Amino acid sequence: MKKSIIALITLLMFCGIARSQDGILVENPQYGVKFNVPNSWKERKVEETSKKDAISYSFDKNDGSIAMMLIAFRLSEVKNLNDLVYTLEKDLTLNIPKIDGTYSEFDKGNYDGMSAKYKDTEFTEIIYYFRTKYSEGVNYAYMLRFITSTTVFSPSIDEEIKKIGDAFEPLPGQ
């Protein structure tokens, strides 16, 4: 009996650790999203447009040092990546600061993207832009945005953001 209780307690502890390492799974096939947010973050809000063509997910790091937003757009055709970036940068409701440096570009086959650092006196932001390139069916575009106070931004925060941003990957074409 005692061995059974010890085995049960060990199993429960292991399951709790595995679950806590998983974080928050954001899965929405309607927008081509399957994204694991680390467990050191909490979901704040999910909003979808009335036309059901875009959705946004907002998260805060548990210590309050970083905010993260994922915006996903459903498109009827492949979107020009430079046009996407330009449109989002100029959107006054997003209030994105001026770029600090240059864009980094990447191509992963069925999707590609760009990332950049933006900065003003109050905030430092790192934004990833993605778009799918499916020849048939629905395509998607994404903006994964990280915002932190300029006074708090550090190499360790930069590394944490890079790890999350590099892990984002749209679902394969449907």
Q: pLDDT per position in the chain (174 positions), as tens?
A: 444 333 333 333 333 333 345 689 999 999 999 989 999 999 999 999 999 999 999 999 999 999 999 999 999 889 999 999 999 999 989 999 999 999 999 999 999 999 999 999 999 999 999 999 998 889 999 999 999 999 999 999 999 999 999 999 998 865
Residue 60 lies in a domain: yes
For position 88, which CATH number holds? 3.40.1000.10
Rounded to a whole number of angstroms, the distance between the first and last alpha carbons of the chain is: 51
CA distance 157 to 167: 16
Residue 2 lies in a domain: no
Pick from 146, 168, 167: which is nearest to 157 by CA?
146
Number of domains in the chain: 1
Residue 174 lies in a domain: no
Its pTM surpasses 0.75: yes
Residue 135 lies in a domain: yes
Residue 6 lies in a domain: no
User: The domain containing residue 78 runs over which residues?
Assistant: 24-167
Q: What is the pLDDT of residues 60-87, one digit of tens each?
A: 999 999 999 999 999 988 999 999 999 9
Beta bridge partners of 99: 118
Residue 134 lies in a domain: yes
Residue 1 lies in a domain: no
Counting DSSP H helices and E strands in the chain, the numbers are 3, 9
3-state secondary structure at position 24? strand
Residue 153 lies in a domain: yes
